[in-house]
Amino acid sequence: MKKVCIAVLALVAYVGNVNAQDNAVKANPLGLIFGTAQFGYERAVTEKTSIEVSLAYASVSATVDSEDTKATGFGAEGKYKFYFSSTQQGIRGWYAAPTVGFNSAKATSGDSEGKLSWVAGGAVAGYQWVFGGGDSGFALDLNFGAQYVSAKTSGDISGVTIDGILPKLGLSLGYAW
């Protein structure tokens, strides 16, 4: 137990020594239009790298073939960002990042019920701005890329599978400090 406490304290001290913006909390405002709430947290690991973790909740209703259909689900995504700027420190500027994600949703339509789950892996390139003087400010993150998605269904909607490469776009607004 003592070794675990020392290791945790050493990790906190190491991660706490990064300069400029070390943290950011962000949300995807466009997702709300489509019934999805996505929130993320980014933490600098070194002066030029960071880890970002996002959680999402979706609740979508539609009418399909004269039947009311509803889907609700959760998802998670992780990114490891590599920042390229030689003049800026912290979580700002041009970056590239590999991504991994998992999502699971339950769908109901009339008497039919099923589950859709998918895993995705890909890469994005983007730019993150931090507006405001000093070590904190408003953050805007735009990115694009591609991802390989493998999706499977079960229940009454079984038999549908998706395996392929899809585009990936991202927009997040938040606060960095």
Q: Read off the pLDDT band of 155 (50, 70, 90).
A: confident
Residues whose CB falls within 8 Å of the CB of residue 111, separated by 6 or more in sequence, listed in order: none
pLDDT at site 175: 97
The reported pTM is: 0.81
Residue owning tokens 């039947």: 67
* CA neighbor of 88 nearest in space, from 143, 144, 145, 128: 128
Q: What is the pLDDT of residue 15?
A: 45
Residue of 50, 46, 137, 45 lying closest to 95 (CA atoms): 50
Mean pLDDT of 148-173: 89
Domains of the chain, start order: 18-176 (2.40.160.20)
What is the mean predicted confidence (pLDDT) over 144-149? 98
The model's pLDDT over 29-64, given as tens digits with 9 standing for 90+, comes to 988 888 899 999 999 999 999 999 999 999 988 877
CA distance 31 to 163: 24
Could you report the per-residue pLDDT of 64-122, keeping only the tens digit for each? Answer: 777 788 889 999 999 999 999 878 778 999 999 999 999 999 988 878 899 989 999 99
In the predicted model, is pLDDT for residue 147 greater than 60? yes
